[in-house]
Amino acid sequence: MPKSQKGVALLKEIGKVNENARELLEKELPDIAKDIDEENRIPSSFIQKLRDAGVFDPRDIRELLEMVRISSRSSPAVGHLILINGTAKLLLNKNLKKSIIAVSITEPGGGSDVKANLTTKAVNVGEKTYINGTKFFTSNALYADHFLVLAVTDKGPTLFLVRKSENVVVEPMDLTAMRGAGISVVHYNNAPVEMVVGEEGTGLRNALLSINIGRLGYSVIALGIAEGLLLETIKYAKKRIIFGRPLTEHQGPRWMIAELYSKIELLRSYISDIVKDDKNIDPLKASIAKVEGARLAQRAAWVAVQLKGGRGLEKGSLTERLSRDARALDIGEGAREVLLDFIGHKVSKIF
């Protein structure tokens, strides 16, 4: 085993990943991750390689999450792309092989309170249905072949599948985090519907099913970020000689490394336990994993900068990129406070 892979081998898998996908995500992705962040876009040649390697068609939830985790060690944006597509496909249960799906729920009027601010409409004209409205923060939109859109009908909020066309206008957002994940404003201008997902009026319930896996997936992005930062920090600290010995030979830094590795192990084992029964992801556990995962990734960002000293503040470095992405984990797939409210409510009912 090459020396650079030794650390990664210590981190036990959540699921089995096909070899082509692993090669791309573990070996090729780290070399282009900085460019993806700078350009706010994944090169189309790399997207094609991901399609061909089956990254967008995972065999099960464990393979999906393991791919998200490996990617997030160098490029959480690519992990995010894989995750959002994977959650949509699990919900759709339709053969859309190799295609990429975007999820369009949030509107300019707000995200946490989805129902109150929903203005996107679905209108029937003869046999056909058309979508009109504007969505914010639609991940994957830049690369998507299909869009899963929440829109209102006479029966209430409903999920629709819409194919990419000139009636779907995508404007990439210039965020400081998850750069390259294709997060965009999307305008649906009389966009024809390909399929209604589930029963009319059940859109919010269906969206929640997908958000549930998304929340667990966010904890896996957090795990990948924490691992990426830990591996980077140890590599640096071993070479950095301070007061006559490597930084890793000082007790303070060793304690910080011990704390991160222990928490990574705990999170990994908690996530593995949640996906043991992949048909029933417990929403309470998925929310706990997300909240605690985000906290761990943000702590890892703090430790990385602390142990790398001034070098930890270099713009464009892996430390800087992963730190920005770690911050977004408390917002996407449900703000931290919304999840804490949900956890507190559930736990109070149990005991």
Ligand X SMILES: Cc1cc2nc3c(=O)[nH]c(=O)nc-3n(C[C@H](O)[C@H](O)[C@H](O)COP(=O)(O)OP(=O)(O)OC[C@H]3O[C@@H](n4cnc5c(N)ncnc54)[C@H](O)[C@@H]3O)c2cc1C
Q: If binding means CB under 6 A, how many residues of this protein chain bind ligand X? A: 22
Please tell me whether residue 4 binds ligand X under the rule CB under 6 A: no
Pick from 21, 105, 247, 307: which binds ligand X (CB under 6 A)?
Answer: 105
Indicate the residue among 178 and 231 with the shorter CB distance to ligand X: 178
Please tell me whether residue 106 binds ligand X under the rule CB under 6 A: yes
Please tell me whether residue 85 binds ligand X under the rule CB under 6 A: no
Indicate the residue among 196 and 338 with the shorter CB distance to ligand X: 338
Q: What residue ranges in the chain does DSSP mark as E strands? A: 101-104, 121-125, 128-138, 146-153, 156-163, 168-172, 184-197, 241-242, 245-246
Least separation in angstroms between residue 86's CB and ligand X is 12
Least separation in angstroms between residue 48's CB and ligand X is 22
The C-alpha atoms of residue 351 and residue 349 are separated, in whole angstroms, by 6
Contact call for residues 213 and 61 (beta carbons, < 8 A): yes
Q: Which amino acid is at 248?
A: T
Pick from 139, 206, 212, 287: which binds ligand X (CB under 6 A)?
Answer: 139
Long-range CB contact pairs, 186-190, < 8 A, 24+:
186/102, 186/104, 186/134, 186/135, 186/138, 186/141, 186/147, 187/133, 187/134, 188/104, 188/120, 188/131, 188/132, 188/133, 188/134, 188/135, 188/147, 188/149, 188/151, 188/162, 189/132, 190/130, 190/131, 190/132
Pick from 123, 198, 341, 342: which binds ligand X (CB under 6 A)?
Answer: 341
Contact call for residues 144 and 182 (beta carbons, < 8 A): yes
Please tell me whether residue 137 binds ligand X under the rule CB under 6 A: yes
Pick from 83, 84, 173, 289: which binds ligand X (CB under 6 A)?
Answer: 84
List binders of ligand X among 24-53 (CB under 6 A).
Answer: none
Least separation in angstroms between residue 241's CB and ligand X is 39
Least separation in angstroms between residue 134's CB and ligand X is 12
Indicate the residue among 86 and 111 with the shorter CB distance to ligand X: 111
Looking at 10-18, 196-204, 217-225, 335-343, which segment touches ligand X (CB under 6 A)? 335-343
For CA atoms 88, 93, 95, 98, the dihedral sign is positive
- Chain residue whose CB lies nearest ligand X: 111
The C-alpha atoms of residue 242 and residue 229 are separated, in whole angstroms, by 21
| Pairing label, strands 241-242, 245-246 | antiparallel
List binders of ligand X among 165-224 (CB under 6 A).
Answer: 177-178, 183
Least separation in angstroms between residue 340's CB and ligand X is 8
| Tokens found for residue 124 | 């029937």
Least separation in angstroms between residue 181's CB and ligand X is 7
The C-alpha atoms of residue 183 and residue 172 are separated, in whole angstroms, by 6
Indicate the residue among 111 and 312 with the shorter CB distance to ligand X: 111
Least separation in angstroms between residue 325's CB and ligand X is 8
DSSP string, 158-184: EEEEEE-STTEEEEE---SSSTTS--E
Contact call for residues 189 and 147 (beta carbons, < 8 A): no
Pick from 238, 335, 344, 345: which binds ligand X (CB under 6 A)?
Answer: 335
Please tell me whether residue 131 binds ligand X under the rule CB under 6 A: no
Indicate the residue among 320 and 333 with the shorter CB distance to ligand X: 333
Least separation in angstroms between residue 147's CB and ligand X is 10
Please tell me whether residue 111 binds ligand X under the rule CB under 6 A: yes
Q: Give the SS3 label for residue 222.
A: helix
Contact call for residues 8 and 1 (beta carbons, < 8 A): no
Indicate the residue among 103 and 303 with the shorter CB distance to ligand X: 103
Which chain residues interact with ligand X by CB under 6 A? 84, 103-106, 110-112, 137-139, 177-178, 183, 328, 331-332, 334-335, 337-338, 341
